[in-house]
Amino acid sequence: MRTFAGVDEVLAAVGERLGPGEWVTVDQKTVDTFADATGDHQWIHVDPERAAQGPFGGPIAHGLLTLSLLPVLLAGLYRIEGVRMGVNYGFNKVRFPAPVAVGSRVRATATVAEVTPLDGAVQVVFATVIEIEGGSKPACVVESVGRFYV
């Protein structure tokens, strides 16, 4: 866990690698709950019996579920002191190079790719890789943009 003592330290951290963080297990209950929340009940996610006969040999997490783990994964990598709040400002790029099999564990590393001072805030681009335990390819590669207000 990297603790930044204010936005000035974040400004000086461009290029710094954070993590890896803790492992998070992606279980079937999480996948099913995500499917209910989004209305995406495709069989490769929610039907373990049918998915066992499918192209991945079992159910896989939705790519967007993997992306939605970003807040919990990043929360284990850094903290910025002296800010009132941080918000998700969006994404520059998102790719899903490998599926996350249900039961797998994922974790993140991130690099502070870009920091832009704003009026009363700082905008940070994190280049994040979500890896799968034992996997040869990442589950997700994403440039996320956060704004932190002082």
Structure confidence at residue 66 (pLDDT): 98
| CATH code assigned to 2-149 | 3.10.129.10
Please calculate the CA angle 96-101-106 and round it to the nearest 5 degrees.
70
Tokens coding 104: 């797998």
pLDDT of residue 10: 95
The pLDDT of residue 18 is 98
- Report the sign of the C-alpha dihedral through residues 65, 67, 73, 78, in that order: negative
Q: pLDDT tens for residues 41-93? A: 999 999 999 999 999 999 999 999 999 999 999 999 999 999 999 999 999 99
Summarize the confidence of residues 101-117 as an average pLDDT. 98
Give me the pLDDT at residue 129, please.
Answer: 98
Q: How confident is the model at residue 99 (pLDDT cuts 50, 70, 90)?
A: very high
Q: d(Cα 118, Cα 149) in Å, to the nearest integer?
A: 9
Provide the whole-model pTM. 0.94
What pLDDT is attached to residue 94?
Answer: 98
The predicted-structure confidence for 8-40, as pLDDT tens digits, reads as follows 999 999 999 999 999 999 999 999 999 999 999
Could you write out the three-class secondary structure of 47-101?
A: CHHHHHCCCCCCCECCHHHHHHCHHHHHHCCEEECCCCEEEEEEEEEEECCCCCE
What single string gives the DSSP state of each residue in 123-150? EEEEEEEEEETT-SS-SEEEEEEEEEE-
Q: What does the pLDDT read at residue 80?
A: 96
pLDDT for the residue numbered 23: 98
